[in-house]
Every structure is written in C-alpha cells, then in structure tokens.
C-alpha cells in the first residue's frame, strides 16, 4: 500500500473519527492529520492503521483508536511549551503526535520489541525514547507539565503522580470492571484529582493492576 493510498484514510479519520467525537482543538486535529499512523503499526496491519479500533501490536499490546488519543490531548488544553511524558509509548505514535503540540517529549517503554519499532518510527521527531518499567515513570526527565498514560490502567502509581509539575495534567484511560473511561487529572499543591469524561475502548497496559486496598 503506497503513501498516496494512506492519505485518503488519514483524511477520513480526521473527518469521521475526530471532528465528530469532540476532538475540537485545531492543533490536535492538525497534528493527527500530519502524522503517518501507518508507520507505527506492523506492515501486515497497515490496512487497518486508521480504523476506529485498537490495532494489535507485539506481545499483546495495542495501538489505541484515534478518537481516544485525540480526546486525551484535547481535554488537556495544551499550550505548546509543555514538557511531556508518554508512559507506554508502544511503537511511538502518541509520542509523535504529542511532539507536534508541546515543547519536549520523553517516551517510556519497557517492551524491547516495541522499543525497537519505536526507535525506527520516531527517528527525526525529536522525541527522547527511554527504556524502563512503565509503572515507575521516568523521574529523570521531570517534572512534567503533561503525562499521557497511553493505555488503560486500574490505578495510577504515586511514583508517576510525583513526577507531575505543580498544576501539571495527567491523562489516561481508567479501567473499572472491564469498562475503560477516558480521564484527565491535575496535580495542585501535591494533591491529585481525576475526572472521567468519555467511554472508549483502550488497550490495557501491563503493570498497573490495582492493589486490593486502592480506589480511585
């Protein structure tokens, strides 16, 4: 499939999956319309790169539907100067989009197969790709104005919350009894509050299972 054949699919994604679902930040729409999503999926799955579904990646991971990423970026109200962290970078798509919207982006991944794919796909984007346990975040690059957890999690570790700057935002999908809901929170004076705003099918990130005593 050639680059020319992907362009109509990208335009259709913007028109039917983003503009119709509350992705109304022009900068987010433009960025997602520019990044070649097909570069971040296995070659054999190129035909569904722009589908309104989770695209399977290596080792049980998945590339989330465009709407989910678009809503998480839109709700953040990004201004362009932010220092950002992507937790669960996968093959790097969300980080590539985010790099067009903020000042700096660090992308954290622990799966070696995905890291190798992300390293190739993110070449030239300015994204700093790092390897480490997802649930620990990446304190060395913080504090962050925006942290994107690119997947569904049962709980958010304190280690990651502590890496957000004061008034920093954290975006994620909250997994609760099999249902995933997009959510965004803000850290103010050391306290963190989270608000859900939309249901969405989002791939589950490993390592974020809720401790028995924990509740959001």
Q: What does the pLDDT read at residue 211?
A: 72
- Cβ atoms of residues 109 and 131 within 8 Å: yes
pLDDT of res. 147: 98
Give the pLDDT score at 176.
Answer: 85
Residue 90, in any domain of the structure: yes
Phi, psi (degrees; rounded to nearest 5) at 76: -75, -25
Look at residue 178 and tell me if it is in a domain: yes
* pLDDT score of 214: 54
Q: Could you count the other beta carbons within 10 Å of the beta carbon of residue 215?
A: 7
- State the DSSP code for 134: G
Summarised one tens digit per residue, pLDDT across range 117-152 is 999 999 999 999 999 999 999 999 999 999 999 999
Residues recorded for the chain: 216
pLDDT over 90 (residue 210): no
Asked, for residue 215, whether it belongs to a domain, the answer is no
Task: Look up the pTM and report it.
Answer: 0.93
What is the DSSP track for 23-42? Answer: ---HHHHHHHHHS-GGGGS-
**pLDDT on residue 180:** 93
Residue 76 included in any domain: yes
**In the predicted model, what is the mean pLDDT of the chain?**
92
Residue 4 has pLDDT above 60, yes or no: no
207 in any annotated domain: no
Q: What is the 3-state composition of the chain as percent helix, strand, coil, each rounded to the nearest 5?
A: 35, 30, 35
* Structural domains counted in the chain: 1
The answer to whether position 143 is within a domain reads yes
Buried b (16+ CB within 10 A) or exposed e, 55-86: bebeeebbbbbbbbbbbbbbbbebeeebbbbb
Residue 168 in any domain: the answer is yes
pLDDT digits (tens, 9 = 90+) for 96-125: 999 999 999 999 999 999 999 999 999 999
pLDDT in the model for residue 20? 86
Q: Which domain holds residue 171?
A: 3-199
Question: How many CA atoms are closer than 13 Å to the CA of 164, on its beta-carbon side?
Answer: 27
Question: For residue range 69-91, what is the model confidence (pLDDT) as tens digits?
Answer: 999 999 999 999 999 999 999 99
Residue 208 included in any domain: no
Q: What pLDDT, on a 0 to 100 scale, did the predictor assign at position 113?
A: 96
Q: For position 172, which CATH number holds?
A: 3.40.50.150
CA angle at residue 165 from 152 to 181, to 5 degrees?
A: 20
């Amino acid at each position: 499939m050639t680059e020319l054949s992907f362009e109509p699919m990208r335009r259709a994604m913007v028109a039917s999956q983003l503009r119709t679902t509350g992705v109304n930040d022009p900068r987010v729409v433009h960025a997602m319309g520019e990044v070649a999503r097909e570069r971040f999926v296995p070659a054999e799955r190129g035909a569904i790169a722009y589908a309104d579904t989770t695209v399977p990646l290596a080792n049980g991971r998945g590339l989330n539907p465009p709407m989910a990423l678009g809503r998480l970026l839109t709700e953040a109200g990004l201004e362009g100067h932010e220092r950002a962290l992507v937790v669960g970078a996968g093959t790097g798509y969300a980080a590539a989009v985010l790099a067009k919207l903020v000042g700096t982006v660090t992308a954290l991944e622990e799966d070696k197969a995905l890291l190798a794919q992300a390293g190739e796909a993110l070449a030239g984007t300015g994204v700093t790709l790092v390897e480490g346990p997802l649930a620990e975040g990446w304190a060395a690059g913080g504090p962050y104005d925006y942290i994107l957890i690119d997947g569904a999690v049962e709980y958010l570790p304190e280690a990651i919350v502590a890496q957000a700057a004061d008034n920093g935002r954290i975006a994620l999908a909250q997994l609760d009894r099999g249902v995933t809901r997009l959510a965004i929170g803000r850290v103010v004076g050391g306290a963190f509050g989270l608000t859900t705003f939309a249901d969405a099918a989002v791939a589950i990130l490993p390592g974020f299972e809720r401790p028995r005593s924990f509740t959001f």
